[in-house]
Structure 1
């Protein structure tokens, strides 16, 4: 992006770059495709039942958070792979830490869905 872009032009350009990133992640990362499917499922599920607005936001928001973490993890992995294909302890550590972040995001999704569904269907 050119340094002179401000205001609406900057937002327009940034949106274009974001769309390119989403397309690239969807094309090259199976986990992203799976989580987009999960997001679509969560939206349909949340809208199909009479959940409160807060519960709908929690159900879909937790999956969106997972998708954000997965996108960041994929970005880290892409940069590490770009640097070199030979094994390096720091490269492995960076990938493992990114994977751990995704793991904790999955735990958050699981906890959120369990609590919301238990409160909704358990009453």
Structure 2
């Protein structure tokens, strides 16, 4: 039982380290993080409902997670085959496409939440 608990604590530490590395070194995550700060401030300014907060936080988490996974896929692909390769390019494009879907959903959620407050 002790090993299980210490393993989970170590795993949490690795996850925090990974999140910090993403925020420190990855421009795409940095942009998404800044956007998340703006929409969070907007949420307080417009006093959005609890349900709207949940949807907004879910959208932010979805985009940040997708960006992180995309970064991991790109790093692995570059490690496996550093030179240009058609299949590696396709893998990277598909991973970026997943981020695109997440971002589009997040924008739609943001519009649904904030358009009524703005107009």
TM-score higher than 0.5 = yes
CA distance in 2, matches of 1:82, 1:27: 20
The equivalent residue for 1:5 is 3
Is 1:44 matched with 2:59? Answer: no
Q: Structure 2: 5+ residue runs without aligned partners?
A: none
Q: Is the 8 A contact 2:32 2:64 kept in 1?
A: yes
Shift of 1:46: 1.1
Q: Structure 1: 5+ residue runs without aligned partners?
A: none
Count of residues in correspondence between the two structures? 118
Structure 1 segments of 4+ aligned residues over 4 angstroms from their partners: none
CA distance in 1, matches of 2:34, 2:115: 23
Aligned partner of 1:108 among 101, 105, 108: 105
Q: Is the 8 A contact 1:32 1:67 kept in 2?
A: yes
Is 1:99 matched with 2:96? Answer: yes
TM-score (norm 2): 0.89
Q: Deviations over 1:39-96 (max 9, x none)?
A: 2222222122221100112123212210110000000001011112112222111100
TM-score (norm 1): 0.86
Q: Is the 8 A contact 1:39 1:64 kept in 2?
A: no
More helix by share: 2
